[in-house]
Structures are given as C-alpha cells and as structure tokens.
Structure 1
Amino acid sequence: MIDIEGLTDSYTKWLGGPNFRNPYSAATIRLYGVTVRRFLEFLDFDGAMEIIEVNIHLVRKYVMSDMKNEIAPKNTQTVRTSSLVLFFDYLESVGENVVNPARAFMDDQKRKSGGRGGRSASRLKTVLEWDEIDRLRFEAGRSETIAGIRDAALIGLILDTGLRASEVCGLTIADGDGYLARRLKVIGKGDKERLVRFEPHHAPRMRSWLRTRRRLTTRDDRLFVTDQGNGLTIAMLYMIVSRLLHRAGIHKAQRGPHLLRHTAASMWLANGVELKQVQENLGHSNIGTTSRYLHLLGSPNP
C-alpha cells in the first residue's frame, strides 16, 4: 500500500528544504504537493501497491488525461510533469531505488515535438572520480571540532558501506563498533534486514568519533548527533555532504549522500568485489540495478 499522506508530506518538506539554489515559493510547493497527492491517489485507484511499479505509461496516463478522460490542458500537463520529475528526484535523494519515469516521459514528449530530448551527453557522472574521492576525504578530515570529527567519520562510513541516508541517520552507537568489525546489520526498504560486509578503510576516523561521541551528554543513542546531542536528520546529512563537496571544489548533478552511495558501489566493483555481494550490500532486489555501477570507475591507482 502506498503511503499517500507520508510521501506527500515528506516531498513538500523536501521542496521547502535547503536542496535548491533557487528555493521554490510557498505557492509552488502547495501546488506541487497537491499534484503529487492526486498522482498517488490515482496510482492507488489504478491498483499500484508500490512506487517501484510506476512506469512511463502510468505517468503519461495521469499527465495527459483530465477528469472526463479527455486531453488535459497544456498548462496542467506542464505542472503535472514538473511536479512528478521533482517527486522522483526526491525519492532518489532519500535512497529509493527507482528510476524517474516522469523524466523519461518528459524526454519522450520533447522527442515527439522535435526537440532533442534525452539527457545531455555532457552531464556529469553520478559518481565521484578517484581524485575527487581523495579531495573529499581530505576536506572532511581538516577540522578537529566535534562536528568536524563527526563529519570525517560520517563521510568515511558512507563511502565504505554505501548506506542510504535514512539508514545512516538510524545507526546507533553500537553500530559504530559494528562498522569497526567490518559488518553492519541495517533495516532497509520494506523493513528488510540485510548484512553489509565491507572493509572499514576509515576506521581511525570512526574510532576518533566514537571517543568524542561517548563524551557527549545526551539520551539519544544514535551514532551521529549534533553538538547538542540531537540525532542527525536526513536534511542535515544532505547539508553536511553538500557543504563538504562544495568546499572540496566538487560539482556534480547530485550533491547529497546518495552520490556517495553510488560512489561506494562503483568503488567496490572497481576493486573486484563480486557483483552479487555489492547487490546484497546495497539491498537491491534486482541485480540489474546494481550492474549500472559497473565500469563507472576504472581501477584505482596503484
């Protein structure tokens, strides 16, 4: 069953958060929220049980039709398309393994109208190159403040484990010890538990953070917290990663923790980890999804 209320609420909060260089107005956020809510209600009526079932045909059916099953006005189609493209961008940003059928629909419409369509060939890769990984690691390790020590461990953990943003925010102090032991049990999509196996390349940074973390006075047992002892939220995690990427002079189409998840998968494959193990680590139900990360990174420098 699709969580209509929860998805709509989290989507509108994301639109109003610090995720865009040019923030959306309150009126636009309300309009896009209503549009996505109606789309989710349409999916429920159509019998879809999960978002992953959505394809370009369902998007086209919703965007193009009005209440009388006639062709919707052009301005309505434009609003619906823009809302849905952002909605699926949001789902990707929080670690949902979905493609963007709304963007595919938009590209298809451009091709039919004589436009170029498709994504630009010059679009930057959705993974960090080896030199960019090194720059990010260096930037994350520069500060010796509480937040700096935390961020160094945080960046290292995501690069080593490929966890989703929600999974990172849900880790406990005990999971910090699990990271050092080279394995973590996490609850992922659909409340499914999985075991992530990896090499803790950033163990010194995690040990430093654990020493600092255990000195903080807080009742919150989450691994990553603020200076005041409150657990990090997904929005905070996004800001931390985005800020460090900016300071490192790294500019990608994606700027949040999901970029590091993509990078972790590509690093594993470039280092010879079996595709099946990478699939299990990422929690992908389809190995075809995992195979997209093959050959995005060459072999690491000796």
Structure 2
Amino acid sequence: MQFERALDDFVSHLVGERGYSPHTVRAYRSDLTALASFAAERQVVDTQWLTLELYRDWLWAASQAGLSKASLARRSATAKSFSAWLSRSNEQAGDAASRLRAPKPDRSLPRVLSRDSIDAVLDSLAARTRDGEPLALRDLAIVELLYASALRVSELVGIDTGALDLDRRTVRVMGKGSKERVVPFGGPAHLALVDYLQRGRPALAARATGGPATAAVYLGARGARLGTRSVYGVVSKLLLDVPGSGPDGPHALRHTAATHLLDGGADLRAVQEMLGHASLGTTQIYTHVTTERLRETYRQAHPRA
C-alpha cells in the first residue's frame, strides 16, 4: 500500500475504531509523516517494504538530531502501533516493528504548587472579578475547576453546560479513550462557576457572530468554544512568577490537585478514578511527589538531616 494512503487509513482507524482524541491523532500523523519522509529518502514508498532496520535507522537519525528520550519513545510507540495495524490489515507480511525498542523516557517529578502559592493565584484572580469583567470571571472559573477536579485541559474545554450538576457539585467529562467519568468539585469552584455562568458567559455568548450558539461552558472573547491553547495561555501567565521549576501550564494544576489530595489523606485508588488514569502505576507518581516533599521538609527542618 502506498504510504500516503496507508497513513490516511490508519488515522481513520484511530478516530473511528480507537476513539483517539484529535490531539493524539495529530501526534500520530506527525510522527508517521516524518517516517514517510525518511522512508522516501531511501526509495521506500510502499509500506510492504518497511523493515525493522528502517524503523531502527529512523529512530537513530532522530536521536542524532537531538530528539528527547520522550519523543523517541513516542515515535517508537507510533511505529509499533502502525506496523501492527499493517499486519492485521494484511498490508504487510508480519509485524516488522514488533521488536523495535526505544530509550525509556526520563521520568521527572511533576511540578506541584504549594498551598500558599495556589491560594495566592486564586486570590489574585478573584480580585480581578470585582468589576464583573467577563474574561476575569471566566478565568477564575477555569482555574478553580482545574484545581478542584484535577481535569486535563482537553477535558475542561470539552465541557458543555448540560454536563454540569451544580446541585451535586459534579461535572461529567470525556477523558482519554472516550472514557466518561463524573468528577466532584468543591465550594469555591461552585461559587466561581455560578458567578461566571450568570454574569460572564452570557456576556461572552452575546459577542458570537453567525452560526449556531455553542453549548460550551467556557467561551472565548468572541463567544466561541474556548480552545486548549487559550487555556494554556491563561494559566501559564498566572504561574509565570510563582516559585518552582517545571512546566507552567494547566497540567501543573492537575499535578497540584492530585498531590494535595494525597497529602490530605485521600485513597490512591480514589485519586486514580478522579484523574481518569487507566493504570494505578500512573497515579503512583504522585506518591513519589509527596515523599520528595517530605524529604525536602526533613532536610530543611531536622537538625541532623
């Protein structure tokens, strides 16, 4: 099968049969486009001629170009998934990438804000809402819900008004693999959401021009559904001057929420369910975070540390 057609068919498989998110599908397409270009340079334009050696050469060339271990691991996973699909579809005799290996990505601890820091961020946002400015009301409702419910940014922007249960203080979200879950949120997030829905969202919705009104909870400045990039911009700007190293996007709030839950005595499996993790091992990284925080406190406070 010609590479271009195979790529399109594989992407259709990811969307239609696997239910992958647009973000994940874009990552697969990007990796496979790079593989197709690498293969074409070696006069390989049909997928039946893909070999384990070519896959290995592709990863080696990427490593020499300076790609991180995490990116190499992702490319390896993409290639293995693509090769397995080709084999199942009878477009290739055997699974050429079944023995492909890539360096394991370095597993660094996620960034976690202190309770004082997150309180300061939320207090500063609340101060901006006093004059009822719609975007300020929205931004407070964004950060409060991200921290309260430890949502992924893709889950947050996908929320429609019908998914909110303000009486029970829960929100229904669609997670990875099209898995739906119901997540609770607390009093401060409830207040911020109610204020935004009553005063902020109607003002933003009124700015929409043409087309049907969106059911999205979070709207942009022009009244359309807010995108993930916009949320990254809002949160990154807020965390820019907050002490601590590591990423400053919305995922830092997810990490912070999970760690604070465990610090407060929450059960690990309950946190796993709240985060929507398929594996408990993924959630366990937050136990390492709390342990590291304890060690740092010990080093600073104990006279014989």
Using the TM superposition, give the Cα deviation of residue 242 of structure 1 relative to its aligned residue in structure 2, in angstroms: 0.6
What are the within-5 Å matches in structure 2 for residues 249-288 of structure 1? 249-288=242-281
TM-score (norm 1): 0.62
Show the 5 A alignment for 1:1-302: 2=14, 10-11=26-27, 34-35=33-34, 66-67=53-54, 75-79=61-65, 81-82=67-68, 85=71, 105=103, 125-144=110-129, 145-176=133-164, 178-179=165-166, 181-212=168-199, 213-215=201-203, 216-217=205-206, 218=208, 219-246=213-240, 248-294=241-287, 296-297=289-290
Deviations 1:77-123 (A, max 9, x none): 3237349628959xxxxxxxxxxxxxx8277xxxxxxxxxx67xxx7
290-299 or 69-78, larger mean C-alpha shift: 69-78
Alignment: residue pair count: 232
Distance in structure 2 (CA, Å) of the matches to 1:165 and 1:187: 11
Q: Secondary structure at the match of 1:214?
A: helix
Tell me by how many angstroms 1:225 deviates.
Answer: 0.5
AA of the residue aligned to 2:71: V
CA distance, structure 1, for counterparts of residue 228 and residue 198 of structure 2? 24
Deviation at 1:202, TM superposition (A): 2.5
Residue 147 of structure 1: CA displacement?
0.9
Checking the alignment, whether the CA contact within 8 Å between 1:35 and 1:83 is kept in structure 2 is no
Deviation digits for residues 184-206 of structure 1 (CA, Å, limit 9, x no counterpart): 22221111111213434332222
Q: Which letter does structure 2 place at the counterpart of 1:128?
A: L
User: 2:59 & 2:180 partners in 1: Cα distance?
Assistant: 45
Question: What RMSD over aligned residues (CA atoms) do the two structures have, in Å?
Answer: 4.0
SS of corresponding position for 2:172: strand
Aligned residue identity for 2:182: L
* SS of the residue 2:286 aligns to: coil
Task: Provide the C-alpha distance between the structure 2 equivalents of 1:136 and 1:254, rounded to a whole number of angstroms.
Answer: 16
Identical positions, percent? 28
SS of residue in 2 equivalent to 1:147: helix
Partner AA of 1:190 in structure 2? G
Q: 249-258 or 188-197: which moved more? A: 249-258
Instruction: Give how far 1:256 is off.
Output: 1.2
Structure 1 residue 158 displacement after superposition? 0.6
Residues 207 and 234 of structure 1, relative CA distance in 2, 3 Å threshold: same
1:5-25 residue CA offsets vs partner (Å, 9 max, x unmatched): 966873499xxxxxxxxxxxx
Distance 1:211 1:81, change over 3 A: same
Letter matched to residue 139 of structure 1: S
Contact 1:164–1:261 (8 Å) recurs in 2: yes
Distance 2:32 2:65 in 1: 11
SS of structure 2 residue aligned to 1:281: helix
2:69–2:103: 8 Å Cα contact kept in structure 1?
no
Query: What residue number does 2:95 align with?
Result: none
TM-score by length of 2: 0.62
Structure 1: 5+ residue stretches without partners: 14-29, 40-44, 46-61, 90-103, 108-117
The 1:205–1:180 alpha-carbon spacing in structure 2 relative to 1, beyond 3 Å, is farther
Pair 250,195 (structure 1): closer, same or farther in 2 beyond 3 Å: same
* Residue 36 (structure 1) shift: 6.2
What's the CA shift for 1:235? 0.9
Which whole-Å CA distance do the structure 2 matches of 1:272 and 1:73 have between them?
43
